[in-house]
Chain A
């Protein structure tokens, strides 16, 4: 039987190479895409899953709901809670802080950047990580300890066994000597330790001086917790509001606490680390996150590609079944029972599926590196996993694609077949199934194409949308880590003197800002009092010329108005004077001003301090396009009186190539701050991380769309080839009756493309629903224009037309006398 099956498949391949080729190629492509995207989905779902007791680990987030702003969740929190957590919750086994820090190693005047994390010695008790060298229990107990990743050890020393060696680290100009106390093995799964080059302990001085260790409401890093049992996470989470009320409450004028009723604006919540990768999409101060439904959609595309491949096989097999009808009739006449024939055809489907599966594995090996490079994820072909999955896929594909055709073929009645002049087409039901499958295939393909187009438009829109300032000809530097007025003035003068620089400014916020300060202001209108929490920025002269924000109403700051020069930090806390401010359009609306001009001249208050709005600017987007733009208030500093807090210089230039200007700026920076790494970059580069994820996932949709269209077109081609063979005689009759070639082409194209147009009707509403949900995740988004849908439909119709055109022309040009002899 098995030999007979293989012989039959070989015979079919020799007799109908196109049919067998289309069948195997379609199925192999479907399997290849399925395996590749399954690897990707598995990778995305594996984040943090490799840590021992991962189900007992969680991160503590803050949730803020301040007046006038959209509530938000932040992963960077105050560490003020840390000493109380184990005390108040016996379910907690360990608590550590985990703070991102930029580290540089300086060698021959060159800075090499390393991604560091400061944490507590208990970190390695919480995360049972493998060490190549060193002892996890003691690695972070000494204050100058340093744990390196394998990659970093190799970069710095060229080998792994470097315990006891010293490294001079530069943290924003502050230099420390650290001793290597451990070399980490590769992390067990992607997640928390991705891209972490160095781990070092929090210093006692940091615990004393950093505001986030001392005050509720300030933030600097993450709190990670290990619970005694997995279910403790939910239990503790439910009691956190009480914890906040107990521990964060205090007098209204207290700097340490959050006032008498902290839970009105502030809560804490726990995020299991197994859920972080998907949860963090809507959490501030996180990266490396992705929407779960996007990953599920990518998995779905893989599954659909497999289904398309199987549908293709069913379609081609039933369409060509007629060709084997006489063989079946003869076998039955010679005494073959139906179940034997069924087994024969199922066996053939399995063999085809096996060959397609092996070709699919080859496709997967070819696609995986491309997908890894496209997404930036470290995906590789895991042969252990594929070894388990592929046999299941082959068996399922063989069953899915073989059962119906085998039933149809083995069910032919020999007498009717042998007496008939025409090959059987399987009746109206089979025709309906074939058309249904083509409709299904194209519905899926068109749906994916529409989604791809929408994703492409949205990502392009985000990239090119007006962000409220002019990005071309603008370079933005690093944080200066300085509160020295003199140094800040010298920086401005030095940068301004560079040839090609047209204006220079300092500000405390920049694209992808390093830290945010928010304060609540009050406006007493004629009807009501409105409180709005606003993001604070301080800008120097020439900010308007450098960033070129759009002034909607009022005037810009200038040195001539004394009150324009804003308050110092101390004055802001305890002063009772009046200062001029500029707010953004979002703030003006939040305070209830219908038009920007209405806000000009109005007074905002914090206690006895008065702030007069002198201008309103268009909203400036420095944050992710997914985040709602916050109400913002701008203070001015002429640098005569008040210094900036860690300002960031920005430069507008002209007449010089960007790279040349960046080099000049970096050189000038080093003359003033030789120990702080400098990298002047365009705004787009600073905000790249906000856009690249969606773009990379857009590429995956493109791959899915191409594969789906290709497989659907194979199905349509197979159907057209079958129809061409079957309808030759009919076309002969029509031409004998006077039909022209043109009329015949139109008739055939209409028939061939009918399923494609039906598919469009199904795909459009489905993709509209899917994309509406996806677009809702963006603060600024494109409209779902009918043009995108028409474009996808036209594209699909064009591809489908090209697919069937060859067969159509062949049929339409057939000589009537010859066509009439066909059957």
Chain B
């Protein structure tokens, strides 16, 4: 098992109210799985993905990644964990406007202290895989949404992560670009990458190997798709 979540809870507290975003989440994900998380807005999908990506911390519960318990790790150790194990794809792409596409992709490797020559070749390879090599020296604002999302995918895979997290990766794209992105994700999964994807699209969720439905901060159903 690559990931094991046990009794995960996430509360948000403000001065007057306490909101439960996640409640008693139990979820195991194996190597090479492609899991789609679905549910209505506000059901806790993105919060769960953030916790899986260690950019948010659970209020209670256990999160094991491989043999390692992550909930007790400090900020610096979590940063190290993220750069060595995870790749992210966001609905709004989250490319840095001031950096060119190749610099955005390279960013994931810079924090891993990879030598420049190797960084260059890996960035070039990643851009080739998603078909945006010709846009390497453009800024994000000069690209279409589909191209930006492909650049974001290139950034997610350039570090050869053990887990790719995708938060509504097709949410801001038209049908054609959405399909292209899903094709890339499927290919990556076929090559062995473990992927967890939050989506609102049932058709895209059907392309995953497993589907987890959430409601009001809880997992209500987890089924394997027939492929």
Contact = CB atoms under 8 A, between A and B. Distances in A.
Interface in A686-739: 729-730, 732-739
Interface string B60-100: 00000000000000011001101110001010101111100
A740 B83 CA distance: 10
A817 B108 contact: no
Contacts of A740: 75-76, 79-80, 111
A552 interface: no
Given A421-B92, A816-B55, A817-B55, A737 B107 contact: yes
Nearest to B156: A737
Interface in B113-163: 155
A743 B92 contact: no
A737 B50 contact: no
A815 interface: yes
B217 interface: no
B65 to A, nearest CB: 14
Interface residues of A, number: 20
B215 to A, nearest CB: 21
Nearest to A428: B98
A820 B55 contact: yes
A561 B108 CA distance: 92
Contact of A820 (B84, B94, B97, B108): B94
Nearest to A425: B97
A817 B50 contact: yes
A6 B140 CA distance: 41
B39 interface: no
A741 interface: yes
A817 B76 contact: no
Contacts of B108: 737-738
A657 B84 CA distance: 75
Residues of B in contact with A, size category? 20 to 34
Nearest to A738: B83
A815 B56 contact: yes
Contacts of A422: 97
B112 interface: yes
Contact of A741 (B76, B82, B155): B76
A735 B96 contact: no
A736 B96 contact: no
Contact of B96 (A730, A741, A820): A730
B53 interface: yes
Nearest to B98: A730
A622 to B, nearest CB: 65
A741 B75 contact: yes
Interface in A731-755: 732-743
A455 B23 CA distance: 69
A542 B80 CA distance: 81
Contact of A738 (B56, B79, B98): B79
Given A421-B92, A733-B96, A817-B55, A738 B84 contact: yes
B55 A815 contact: yes
Nearest to A422: B97
Contacts of A737: 82-83, 88, 107-108, 111, 155
A645 to B, nearest CB: 81
Contacts of B83: 737-739
A739 B79 contact: yes
Among A738, A816, A817, max chain B CB count under 10 A is at: A738
Contact of B56 (A730, A741, A743, A817): A817
A736 B156 CA distance: 11
Contacts of A817: 50, 55-56
A243 to B, nearest CB: 76
Given A743-B111, A817-B55, A735 B94 contact: no
Contacts of B56: 815-817
A736 B46 CA distance: 14
Given A816-B55, A817-B56, A735 B50 contact: no
B111 A736 contact: no
A738 B112 contact: yes
Contacts of A816: 55-56
Contact of A736 (B53, B97, B112): B53
Among A736, A737, A815, A816, max chain B CB count under 10 A is at: A737
B31 to A, nearest CB: 21
Contacts of B76: 740-742
Contacts of B96: 730, 733-734
A266 to B, nearest CB: 72
Contacts of A815: 55-56
B107 to A, nearest CB: 6
A816 B94 CA distance: 12
Contacts of B88: 736-737
Contacts of B84: 738
Nearest to B82: A738
Given A815-B55, A817-B55, A817-B56, A739 B94 contact: no
Contacts of A733: 94-96
A734 B96 CA distance: 9
B21 to A, nearest CB: 11
Contacts of A735: 55, 79
A382 to B, nearest CB: 51
Contacts of A421: 92
Nearest to B108: A737
Contacts of B98: 730
Contacts of B80: 738, 740
A450 B154 CA distance: 50
Among A422, A740, A815, max chain B CB count under 10 A is at: A740
A729 B98 CA distance: 12
Nearest to B79: A740
Nearest to B90: A820
A817 B107 CA distance: 18
A729 B82 CA distance: 18
A422 B92 CA distance: 12
B205 to A, nearest CB: 23
Interface string A504-516: 0000000000000
Nearest to B111: A738
A820 B55 CA distance: 10
Nearest to B81: A738
A626 to B, nearest CB: 54
19 contacts: A732-B55, A734-B96, A736-B82, A736-B88, A737-B88, A738-B79, A738-B80, A738-B82, A738-B84, A739-B79, A739-B83, A740-B75, A740-B80, A741-B75, A741-B79, A816-B55, A816-B56, A817-B50, A817-B56
Given A732-B55, A736-B82, A740-B79, 5 more contacts: A732-B94, A735-B55, A738-B111, A740-B75, A820-B90
Interface of B: 50, 53, 55-56, 75-76, 79-80, 82-84, 88, 90, 92, 94-98, 107-108, 111-112, 155
